[in-house]
């Protein structure tokens, strides 16, 4: 008989590629993870993982079991949801991980809405960049992620997750007030090819949006200044050290005295924001109201 907790460990190893990283995500020791993998191999009668210089990879048998693991764990999530519904679980804590502007745009309004509609649900919010929250959901560190699409992100049909689209927003060009294009109604990205750029660090999903938009315009941005804080990005632009692309919602309430904000000429680069939960958990009586509140907040934003 295969134990479900060992399937959790197999999936964590597949996701994180090393025993050490999987152990850290699961709050276990590496030796405990190795022991559980060995026990799982004994239960199945197959070698499931191979260790190499670059970490751990699944064998063909391991990949077969991983496919079933995703289905089994999703079904267990559904079982928990139905049992909680049977017990009318209308009270409890739900942890939501979201990036800063996502918190301001949809999470905070959703928390306020839930205080009226579902007072028994307590929300705990954790600030996490858009590429960090999905692994936190998969590792059961949080219940809900508010994330953005990025290169390498789990696809919308990933068997481990359920995606709930929330909103899409354009990036606007931010240039110093003294910039040669400051008087334009719209800024063609190609005209910024020779400028120094300010932007998020690689790994931040917004970095991908900026780089891909510039590549589509025919150039690689010369990123001379880096910050994941858009207030810092705008402050640097106001100091006339470069230009930037910033999500529109991130500019709300900011001091824009030293910059000019203009739409991008043509098809604007866009970030798409969604909520994600472990597959099968979307109908849990604590999580469903949170997803509904996030969607309602996105529609009203």
Among the three residues 69, 84, 99, which one is the final residue of a domain in this structure? 84
- pLDDT digit of tens for each residue in the chain (301 aa)? 788 888 889 899 888 988 889 889 888 998 898 898 888 888 888 888 888 777 888 899 889 988 898 888 888 888 887 777 666 656 788 999 999 999 999 999 999 999 999 888 899 999 998 778 999 999 999 999 999 988 778 888 899 999 999 999 999 999 999 999 999 999 999 999 999 999 999 888 899 899 999 999 999 999 999 999 999 999 999 999 999 999 999 998 899 999 999 999 988 899 999 999 999 999 898 999 999 999 999 999 7
Residues 284 and 161 in one domain: yes
Residues 219 and 251 in one domain: yes
Number of domains in the chain: 3
Residues 266 and 278 in one domain: no
Cβ density class 65-87: b for 16+ within 10 Å, e for less: bbeebbebbbebbbeebeebeee
* Boundaries of domain holding 161: 90-166+272-300
Which pLDDT score is estimated for 217?
93
CATH of the domain at 10: 1.10.10.10
Considering only CA atoms, which of 58, 46, 43, 122 is closest in space to residue 89?
122
Residues 157 and 279 in one domain: yes
Which pLDDT score is estimated for 149?
86
Which pLDDT score is estimated for 67?
87
191 burial via Cβ count (<10 Å: 0-12, 13-18, 19+)? middle
DSSP per position, 167-211: EEEEEEEEEETTSTTTT-SSB-GGGGTTSEEEEPPTTSHHHHHHH
Residues 48 and 80 in one domain: yes
CATH of the domain at 133: 3.40.190.10
Residues 10 and 57 in one domain: yes
Residues 160 and 172 in one domain: no
Residues 138 and 265 in one domain: no
Residues 116 and 177 in one domain: no
Rounded-to-integer distance, Cα 145 and Cα 166, Å: 12
Considering only CA atoms, which of 6, 4, 75 is closest in space to residue 14?
6
Q: Tell me the three state secondary structure of residue 76.
A: helix
Residues 73 and 104 in one domain: no
Residues 139 and 282 in one domain: yes
Which pLDDT score is estimated for 253?
87
pTM above 0.85, yes or no: no
Q: Tell me the three state secondary structure of residue 39.
A: helix
Among the three residues 64, 84, 104, which one is the final residue of a domain in this structure? 84
Rounded-to-integer distance, Cα 277 and Cα 140, Å: 10
Among the three residues 84, 114, 132, which one is the final residue of a domain in this structure? 84
Residues 22 and 156 in one domain: no
Which pLDDT score is estimated for 34?
87
């Amino acid at each position: 008989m295969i134990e479900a907790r060992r399937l959790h460990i197999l999936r964590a190893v597949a996701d994180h590629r090393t025993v050490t990283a999987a152990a850290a995500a699961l709050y276990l020791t590496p030796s405990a993870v190795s022991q559980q993998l060995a026990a799982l191999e004994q239960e199945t009668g197959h070698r499931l993982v191979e260790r190499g210089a670059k970490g751990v990879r699944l064998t063909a048998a391991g990949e077969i079991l991983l496919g079933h693991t995703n289905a089994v764990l999703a079904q267990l999530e559904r079982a928990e949801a139905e049992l909680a519904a049977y017990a009318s679980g209308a009270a409890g804590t739900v942890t939501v991980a979201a990036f800063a502007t996502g918190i301001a745009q949809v999470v905070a309004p959703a928390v306020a809405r839930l205080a009226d509609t579902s007072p028994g649900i307590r929300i705990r919010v954790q600030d996490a960049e858009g590429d960090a929250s999905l692994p936190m959901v998969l590792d059961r560190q949080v219940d809900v992620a508010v994330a953005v699409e990025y290169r390498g992100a789990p696809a919308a049909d990933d068997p481990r997750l359920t995606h709930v689209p929330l909103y899409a927003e354009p990036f606007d060009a931010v240039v110093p007030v003294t910039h040669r294009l400051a008087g334009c109604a719209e800024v063609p990205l190609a005209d910024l090819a020779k400028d120094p750029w300010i932007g998020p660090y690689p790994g931040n999903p917004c970095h991908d949006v900026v780089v891909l938009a510039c590549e589509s315009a025919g150039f690689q941005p010369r990123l001379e200044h880096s910050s994941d804080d858009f207030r810092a990005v705008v402050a640097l632009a106001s100091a006339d050290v470069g230009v930037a692309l910033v999500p529109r919602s991130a500019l709300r309430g900011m001091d824009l005295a030293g910059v000019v904000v203009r739409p991008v000429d043509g098809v604007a680069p866009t970030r798409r924001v969604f909520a994600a939960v472990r597959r099968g958990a979307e109908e849990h009586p604590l999580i469903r109201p949170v997803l509904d509140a996030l969607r309602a907040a996105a529609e009203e934003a």
